[in-house]
């Protein structure tokens, strides 16, 4: 596979696949080719026996469901949606360089991709099961992969608020880019929660639960929580953290790469921007002098909900070292903080500081 692997050096087992595209192939196209789509796994990819596969829907429902893949595919109206998936750990490397972060993958800018997802609406599945109580407020998901922690096996899981779960953009997908969902991306069935951190889009989905409270799964209650900069792994009380949902507005320079050495003259600057999906990106500004002066980038695709915005601009630059900077705004006037100091958190999530790239021209 053309992805380059990322290893978590703190784990002793090395069969956990985490990988992203090489930077010269990142965000080249609006739809990311499946073989270039980043992979983020917390455990080994499970072996799924399709003849025994069942999706179970339970909790505060009128009817518990247990469905085969064929029943899922034939029983619900197919829906197709283009959506960007981004890991909450995207851009963690810049945070790590500012102040150490233990035990987390140091993603650069590659933990993001856009695909065409086909499946059914989660809302249609919930309608089939029937929500049985007005106490229902969250929808929990469970995957088939098993995580070993302190000698005990638990499954990967998460939850999302009920109102998001009922929104028409949230899918249970069995196809990616027009093909059967690949095993690494959650075959036979995965959740796609557009606009939310990737962690909520549970792969190898085997369970959906209608719940009163957010899932008690480790990845909802301990992982993927945001804390202020004063909190660290020694003074943390996980109950105080904010469960991450929507992604903040972000923008990234993909080309040229940081530390590039290039010929002076016309320099094309390209990248992506992404908001919470509910708001389109309205404006991307790029600076070639560390943020003193800015120019507007042109958009390479029509702005649309649930996807990234690819952009490009050009500078004519003399020899010397230059700092390129990008920032974006969305239709709700959300923008990005200027410094890494203001986005640093001890788990290294949702870094959306102005993105900076240093280049030297000869």
Binding characters for Mo ion, 5-44, by CB under 5 A (x = yes): -----------------------------------x----
- CB 186 to ligand MTE: min, Å: 6
Q: Specify the residue, 219 or 311, whose C-beta has the smaller distance to Mo ion.
A: 219
Q: Which of 41, 215, 313, 352 binds ligand MTE (CB under 6 A)?
A: 41
- CB 67 to ligand MTE: min, Å: 18
Q: Is 211 among the residues that bind ligand MTE (CB under 6 A)?
A: no
Which residues, in sequence order, are CB contacts of 279 under 8 Å at separation 6+? 249, 305, 330, 331, 332, 334
CA distance 160 to 208: 11
The values of phi and psi at residue 218, to 5°, are -50, -40
Q: Is 145 among the residues that bind ligand MTE (CB under 6 A)?
A: yes
CA distance 249 to 330: 7
Task: Write out the binding residues for ligand MTE, residues 74-113 only, by CB under 6 A.
Answer: 85, 87
Which residues, in sequence order, are CB contacts of 74 under 8 Å at separation 6+? none
Determine contact, residues 81/169, Cβ cutoff 8 Å.
yes
The values of phi and psi at residue 173, to 5°, are -100, 135
CA distance 106 to 101: 9
Q: Is 199 among the residues that bind ligand MTE (CB under 6 A)?
A: yes
* DSSP letter (8 states) at residue 96: H
Which partner from the list ligand MTE, Mo ion, none does 41 bind, CB cut-off 5 to 8 Å by kind?
ligand MTE
Q: Is 297 among the residues that bind ligand MTE (CB under 6 A)?
A: no
Which partner from the list ligand MTE, Mo ion, none does 38 bind, CB cut-off 5 to 8 Å by kind?
ligand MTE
* Number of residues this chain uses to bind Mo ion (CB under 5 A): 4
Residues in the site for Mo ion, rule: CB under 5 A? 40, 87, 198-199
């Amino acid at each position: 596979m053309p992805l380059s692997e990322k290893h978590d050096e703190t784990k002793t087992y090395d069969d956990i696949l985490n990988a992203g595209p090489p930077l010269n192939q990142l965000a080249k196209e609006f739809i990311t080719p499946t073989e270039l789509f980043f992979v983020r796994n917390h455990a080994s990819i499970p072996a799924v026996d399709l003849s025994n596969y069942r999706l179970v829907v339970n909790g505060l429902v009128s009817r518990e469901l247990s469905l085969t893949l064929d029943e899922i595919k034939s029983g619900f109206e197919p829906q197709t949606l283009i959506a960007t998936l981004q890991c909450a750990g995207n851009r963690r490397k810049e945070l790590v360089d500012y102040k150490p972060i233990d035990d987390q993958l140091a993603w650069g800018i590659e933990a993001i991709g856009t695909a065409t997802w086909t499946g059914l609406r989660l809302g249609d599945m919930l309608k089939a099961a029937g929500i049985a109580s007005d106490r229902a407020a969250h929808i929990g998901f469970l995957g088939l992969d098993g995580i070993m922690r302190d000698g005990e096996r638990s499954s990967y899981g998460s939850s999302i608020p009920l109102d998001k779960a009922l929104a028409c953009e949230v899918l249970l997908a069995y196809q990616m880019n027009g093909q059967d969902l690949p095993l690494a991306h959650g075959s036979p069935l995965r959740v796609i929660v557009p606009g939310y951190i990737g962690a909520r889009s549970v792969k190898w989905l085997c369970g959906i639960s209608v719940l009163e409270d957010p899932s008690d799964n480790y990845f909802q209650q301990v992982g993927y929580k945001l804390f202020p900069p004063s909190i660290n792994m020694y003074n943390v009380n996980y109950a105080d953290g904010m469960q991450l949902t929507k992604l903040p507005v972000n923008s990234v320079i993909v080309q040229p790469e940081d530390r590039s050495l290039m010929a002076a003259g016309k320099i094309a600057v390209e990248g992506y921007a992404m908001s919470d999906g509910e708001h389109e990106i309205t404006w991307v500004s790029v600076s070639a002098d560390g943020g003193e002066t800015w120019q507007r980038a042109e958009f390479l695709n029509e702005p649309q909900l649930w996807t990234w915005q690819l952009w490009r601009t050009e500078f004519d630059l003399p020899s010397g070292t230059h700092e390129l900077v990008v920032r974006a705004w969305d239709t709700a006037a959300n923008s990005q903080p200027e410094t890494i100091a203001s986005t640093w958190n001890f788990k290294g999530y949702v870094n959306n500081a102005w993105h900076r790239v240093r280049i030297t021209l000869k």
